[in-house]
């Protein structure tokens, strides 16, 4: 009889459990080892790591420990060109690696995976966007950084959510009419704030579109003392409930300097690593998504950011896999609109 101990647990089950524990601890051990290997190669070869706030907290932590750059997409764009390293590893989504390459064409830009794209980029194919632009030849073309290099090459300006308001305000004050792409929610937010004349592309982020007004209102009732932090890729019905609307870095800075002790956060969960690290005494709650209509999109985690892992980061630094390579002519054109973004004061 296998089940001879006092709790009558079959020995086969115990054996299985023991095996699971030991394979888990092997996993933890090997991940630690992999992290050490990443650190060794990065230091020896003077590789510069740049990672977005939505990536796995372990990737953010390694990046910080190696004096790399963990930031929002605007700072990521700037960091690549100011680093003296010849090899840069960008953990994030593809447009972030492409932006780094366009701004530093002489450097080797590699990514843990080239498959990590973005719903805004996917929803704005360059050929269709070109036709859209041709229908409005009198407009200044302003595109969000979350687009392909080909779309950036068609634009007059590239912006991120950190400076979109200021750039549109500046263009509006010069009497320019604007063609905006691809995020309709960010576009509507900017139009409401600036009253600029804006024609919009119909795109949205699969992650932020899931945040819901009613669910958030219920959570606010439960925590009336909480401040509400919302990324402007969220629908306007969610944005209208916010105390702070801003890019990832703006939301983090707001939470750092606010005297409030509680926050509800409507953006990708990866940001909680920085929020909690900087403010261990404060409480952060996830904004509700999708309610009864929840799908697997409703987890507040960008599926593409989630494709970056310790293992493929290791592969990238060790084997220099997934190098970004772009057409020279496209890079030259896209550089003009990107330079305007990074040099905008």
Largest CA distance in the chain: 87
Q: Is 230 in the site for ligand SF4 (CB under 6 A)?
A: no
Q: Rounded to an integer, what distance in angstroms lies between the CA atom of residue 109 and that of residue 114?
A: 11
Q: Rounded to an integer, what distance in angstroms lies between the CA atom of residue 302 and that of residue 291?
A: 18
The residue count for the chain: 345
Q: Is 304 in the site for ligand SF4 (CB under 6 A)?
A: yes
Strand partners of residue 70 = 51
| Cis? peptide before 268, omega within 30° of 0 | no
**Could you give the 3-state DSSP secondary structure of residue 206?**
coil
- State CA 84 to chain mean position distance: 24
Work out what residue 160 binds among ligand 13P, ligand SF4, none; the CB cut-off runs from 5 to 8 Å by kind.
ligand 13P
17: which 2 tokens? 């459990």
Nearest CB to ligand SF4, comparing residues 147 and 322: 147
Element (H, E) at 336: helix 328-343
Dump strand ranges (E) for 131-219. 140-144, 157-159, 178-181, 198-200
Find the binding residues for ligand 13P in span 101-160 (CB under 6 A): 146, 160
Dihedral, CA of residue 199, residue 165, residue 167 and residue 111, to nearest 10: -90
Q: Is 312 in the site for ligand 13P (CB under 6 A)?
A: no
Q: How buried is residue 1: exposed, middle or buried, by Cβ count under 10 Å (0-12/13-18/19+)?
A: exposed
| Minimal distance, residue 342 CB to ligand 13P, in Å | 13
x/- string (CB under 6 A) for ligand 13P, residues 198-217?
A: -------x------------
List 142, 233, 255, 310, residue binding ligand 13P (CB under 6 A): 233
| Minimal distance, residue 311 CB to ligand SF4, in Å | 21
User: Which phi and psi (to 5°) does residue 90 adopt?
Assistant: -105, 115
Q: Is 207 in the site for ligand SF4 (CB under 6 A)?
A: yes
Q: Is 205 in the site for ligand SF4 (CB under 6 A)?
A: yes
**Do residues 144 and 120 make contact, with C-beta atoms less than 8 angstroms apart?**
yes
Q: Is 322 in the site for ligand SF4 (CB under 6 A)?
A: no
Q: Which residues contact 63 (CB under 8 A, 6 or more apart)?
A: 49, 50, 51, 69, 70, 91
Find the binding residues for ligand SF4 in span 20-79 (CB under 6 A): none
Q: Is 227 in the site for ligand SF4 (CB under 6 A)?
A: no
List 69, 76, 93, 159, residue binding ligand SF4 (CB under 6 A): 93
Nearest CB to ligand SF4, comparing residues 42 and 211: 211
Work out what residue 62 binds among ligand SF4, ligand 13P, none; the CB cut-off runs from 5 to 8 Å by kind.
none
Q: Are strands 227-230 and 262-266 parallel, antiparallel or unpaired?
A: parallel
Binding region for ligand SF4 (CB under 6 A) out of 55-63, 76-84, 159-167, 201-209: 201-209
Q: Is 167 in the site for ligand SF4 (CB under 6 A)?
A: no
Q: Is 206 in the site for ligand SF4 (CB under 6 A)?
A: yes
| Minimal distance, residue 289 CB to ligand SF4, in Å | 13
x/- string (CB under 6 A) for ligand 13P, residues 53-92?
A: -------------------xxx------------------
Residues that bind ligand SF4 (CB under 6 A): 93, 118-120, 146, 205-207, 233, 268, 302, 304-305
């Amino acid at each position: 009889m296998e089940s001879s101990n006092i709790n009558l647990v079959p020995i086969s089950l115990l054996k299985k459990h023991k095996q699971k524990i030991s394979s888990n601890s092997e996993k933890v051990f090997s991940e630690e080892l992999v992290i050490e290997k990443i650190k060794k190669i990065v230091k020896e070869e003077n590789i510069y790591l740049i990672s977005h706030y939505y990536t796995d907290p372990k990737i953010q932590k390694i990046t910080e420990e190696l004096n790399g750059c963990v930031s929002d997409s605007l700072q990521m764009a700037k960091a690549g060109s100011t680093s003296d390293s010849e090899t840069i590893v960008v953990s994030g989504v593809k447009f972030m690696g492409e932006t780094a390459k366009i701004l530093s064409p002489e450097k080797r830009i590699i990514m843990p995976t080239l498959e990590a794209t973005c719903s805004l980029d996917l929803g704005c194919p360059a050929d269709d966007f070109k036709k859209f632009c041709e229908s409005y030849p009198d407009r200044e073309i302003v595109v969000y950084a979350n687009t392909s290099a080909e779309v950036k090459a068609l634009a007059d300006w590239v912006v991120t959510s950190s400076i979109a308001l200021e750039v549109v305000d500046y263009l509006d004050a010069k009497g320019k009419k604007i063609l905006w792409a691809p995020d309709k929610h960010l576009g509507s937010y900017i139009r409401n704030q600036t009253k600029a004349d804006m024609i919009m592309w119909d795109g949205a982020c699969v992650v932020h579109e899931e945040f819901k007004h009613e669910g958030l209102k219920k959570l606010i009732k439960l925590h009336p003392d909480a401040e509400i932090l919302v990324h402007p890729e969220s629908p306007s019905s969610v944005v209208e409930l916010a105390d702070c609307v801003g890019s990832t870095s703006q939301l983090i800075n707001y939470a750092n300097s606010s005297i409030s002790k509680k926050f509800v956060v409507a953006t990708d969960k990866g940001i909680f690593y920085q929020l909690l690290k900087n403010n261990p005494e404060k409480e952060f709650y996830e904004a509700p998504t999708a309610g009864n209509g929840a799908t697997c999109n409703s987890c507040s985690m960008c599926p593409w950011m989630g494709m970056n892992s310790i293992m493929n980061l290791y592969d990238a630094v060790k084997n220099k896999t997934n190098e970004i390579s772009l057409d020279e002519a496209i890079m030259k054109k896209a550089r003009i609109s990107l330079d305007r973004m990074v040099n905008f004061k």
